[in-house]
Amino acid sequence: MRVLPPARHGDLEDPAIERGHTVVLIDGVYHQAPALRHKEILAAISHGVRVIGAASIGALRAAELDGHGMIGSGRIYHAYASGALTGDDEVAVAQSPDGELSAQTWPLVSLRHIVRTAEREQVMTSRTAALLLRALAEIPYQQRTESAVRSVVRQIAGAPILTRSREHRAQDPHWGDLKRADALGALALAREACLPPPRDSRPVPVSTDYTRAWANRRATEETDGRRLPTGARLAYQQIFDPGFPQVWGRWLEHLATRSGPVPLGRRVAYVLDDHANHPAPPPYLLFRPVPDLHDEDTRALLLCRETAADRDAVARYAAANTALRDQVRGFSPEAIGDDVPRRTLARLWRTGTAPLEDVAAARGFRNASDAIDHMKDFLAGFLADIPEGTAV
């Protein structure tokens, strides 16, 4: 079993997660980093990974996806699934900006549990409980600190509930922590030999440009005794190979003729047909699909002109970025302005009067900005390669 930090966008693409594995999704980030998307979970499920959700973002996602194969567990999940809970702030907590993972604020769902328990134990009336919960819900989750909660509780309900809470905590230091209880229950469920089947499970199409782009960031392949990112190798060909527009055109034709339900392929095939009476624009201007770099045929077609020298350049340019990060504080390719990479692309591609947008599309980029962003990754190493004094 591996225990990992709160989940974020891209974590389910970890190559260590394989078919037959079980992932228990509990906590996740969504302000300080991109959150885990629904389609990432669906993609994992479609690849044979069992995903259980509980306690926090896991409970939210399970309530939203339990009809598509995700398994929900715990009281918080059931409250979301039934509609008793709806807001994300029920489970949200603030964390320290220094990376400390412990919660700095109270989740509303636990406070709700504590207040309802106090109501059942007749520590407060139903009217007071309702007033208190309304006041606690009005506190933004980032400000729902222990001192803020105590202040509101003392003002509305008085000291008895605080005293009763201390008594419970003396017997159980985790009393009232509903998220923790649900998380432990989900882990116990994951250890069971026979898990319950997903409710109303049905297949969902999960392959989109977005999901392929996410997965492509993790695509690597070992060649020449070293492992290089496949996306960087493809971007190098798109930028530096003079013949890549023909390579991209052949791949679009391959997409149009491949077997299986490929709606995009049918649309590309239509454009590739000879319409003498109604000439169509080039397919690359109409369709800009993201290739699946985990697909062997796709890699073979798009990297068919790649050489060992090209792979050397990819590795060398990546090393140049690493060296600059070590030497120049705050350097990153993303911080480079657009002007130099734009002019560099125009000279490399000899665009002349042709719009950079169209030339970038012919090379498989989504748009000129996409091409410029990729050029930034290679710019430091490329400039180091060209003779001194050469205009860029």
Region 264-282: what's the mean pLDDT? Answer: 59
pLDDT at 265 over 60: no
Higher-pLDDT residue of 201, 59: 59
Q: What is the pLDDT of residue 86?
A: 86
Terminal Cα-to-Cα distance of the chain (whole angstroms): 52
Spatial CA neighbour of 14 closest among 32, 33, 36: 36
Region 272-284: what's the mean pLDDT? Answer: 64
Do 55 and 186 meet the contact criterion of CB atoms below 8 Å apart?
yes
**The token pair that represents 303 in the structure block:** 């990297």
| Helices 57-65 and 38-46, axial angle in degrees (round to 10) | 70
Q: What is the pLDDT of residue 270?
A: 57
pLDDT at 383 over 50: yes
Higher-pLDDT residue of 115, 194: 115
User: Does the predicted model carry a pTM greater than 0.75?
Assistant: no
pLDDT at 390 over 70: no
Q: What is the pLDDT of residue 23?
A: 93
CA 130, CA 71: separation in Å to the nearest integer?
32
Q: What is the pLDDT of residue 199?
A: 47
Q: Which of 71-75, 203-207, 378-382 has the lowest mean pLDDT?
A: 203-207
CA 34, CA 28: separation in Å to the nearest integer?
10
Query: Residue ranges per domain, the chain?
Result: 108-173, 220-385
Higher-pLDDT residue of 106, 275: 106
Q: What is the pLDDT of residue 378?
A: 96
Q: What is the pLDDT of residue 175?
A: 86
CA angle at residue 95 from 217 to 4, to 5 degrees?
A: 45
Region 72-94: what's the mean pLDDT? Answer: 90
DSSP label of 23: E
pLDDT tens-digit readout, 337-369: 999 999 999 999 998 878 999 999 999 999 999
Amino acid at 234: L
Q: What is the pLDDT of residue 29?
A: 82
Share of the chain above pLDDT 70, in %: 87
Number of helices (H), then strands (E), belonging to the chain: the values are: 18, 5
Q: What is the pLDDT of residue 368?
A: 95
Q: At 61, is the pLDDT very low, low, confident or very high (cuts 50, 70, 90)?
A: very high
Region 246-251: what's the mean pLDDT? Answer: 94
pLDDT tens-digit readout, 156-214: 888 888 888 888 888 888 888 899 999 999 999 988 756 655 444 455 556 778 888 88
Q: What is the pLDDT of residue 100?
A: 64
Q: Which of 58-72, 83-97, 215-229 has the lowest mean pLDDT?
A: 83-97
pLDDT at 262 over 50: no
Contacts 24+ apart (CB under 8 A), 115-120: 115/161, 117/176, 118/157, 118/161, 118/164, 118/165
